[in-house]
Amino acid sequence: MISIGPYQFERPLALAPMAGVTDRPFRLLCRRLGADLAASEMVTSDTRLWHTTKSRLRLDHTGEPSPRIVQIAGGEPEMMVEAARRNRDLGAQIIDINMGCPAKKVCNRAAGSALLRDEPLVAAILAAVVAAVDIPVTLKMRTGWDRANRNGPRVARLAEEVGIAALAIHGRTRADHYEGEAEYETIRAIKDAVRIPVFANGDIDCGAKAAAVLAATGADGIMIGRGAQGRPWIFREIRAFLEGSSAVAPPDTTEVRDIMTGHLEQLYAFYGEHAGLRVARKHLGWYRDTALNEIGVAHDTTTIGEDTLFRAIRTVETAANQLTLMHEWLATISARTSPLRLKSEPAPMMPPQSESRRTTMG
């Protein structure tokens, strides 16, 4: 059992904050499907920019279960303090500080993972925010600036010394962006260097990988980012695997349809129909890629009709039409496949067929 302030968890699973992805509808969906924690999209510490529609939506946590987590990003202690206090006043129950984002537009402003180059500034920001609010403050970071400077263990010790309540470590450096494979040795070194809870993050896409990463790092919890895109049920699959069930029943097409329908309806309600349709398009793309992969249908074997139908889903201008076409598309897949299988589950063996049977099947 670990504690983050007043909140206690046993081997927690967290949804990683991702700009443009982890809005309130997606957070609620992942929480319903097994995530213990789900942080907001990154919010700028420059409160002068909070009047925009994008910022207002990122600050909206209506109806979210505890603990409500807001991630803030910036490079000036005073601005980070103001952002933390205002988010607390708006209902945040945990403040997460971003020192993991590798995006140029963030790093060029001396924020995100760029801060890892300046350890005194890291310490100043963390200490100021911890002292400014009476709620837990956590830190999301990478293993270092580049492979020659994996200073994650030193930064972790600084964080613990000033009162950071927990750490989430992406197993790549800032220079790596999202390329190559995540490495877990540095996460292990960080875990060995501190006593506060540590979440391991990076390339975790199934229960077996989660268990292997926990064993390799000694981490207290798992954080899932891109692995949840188009596959929000990954949290319940990992949970079941870690609890000893190696054969987790995958969702069938009916459940996938219901999950997708509910998700899209929440997007329309949250953003309004016009914007919700456009936000839904990227999620539909992730669901498409995941669904086809899990039922063993490669992209180059989809029928022309399915491909045309999916393009239509991405271009319609009303929510009703988008939902109708999505159901039609799923029905065409369901009609020619068995229920969805886990990526790690092999396709069932087909019985031997006569030569004539093989010929007629093409």
User: What per-residue string of b and e applies to 282-291 under the rule 16 or more CB within 10 Å gives b?
Assistant: ebbebbbebb
Q: Where does the chain show beta strands of DSSP type E?
A: 2-4, 7-9, 13-15, 37-38, 43-44, 69-73, 94-99, 137-142, 166-170, 198-201, 221-224
Say which residue the tokens 């910022």 belong to: 55
Say which residue the tokens 């292990």 belong to: 188
**Active site (annotated) includes residue 101:** yes
Across the beta sheet with 13-15, the strand order is 37-38, 13-15, 221-224, 198-201, 166-170, 137-142, 94-99, 69-73, 43-44
Report which residue type is found at 2: I
How far apart are the C-alpha atoms of 275 and 277, rounded to whole Å? 5
Helix-, strand-, coil-residue percentages of the chain, each rounded to 5: 50, 10, 40
Query: Catalytic: which of 30, 101, 107, 206?
Result: 101
Enumerate the active-site residues.
101
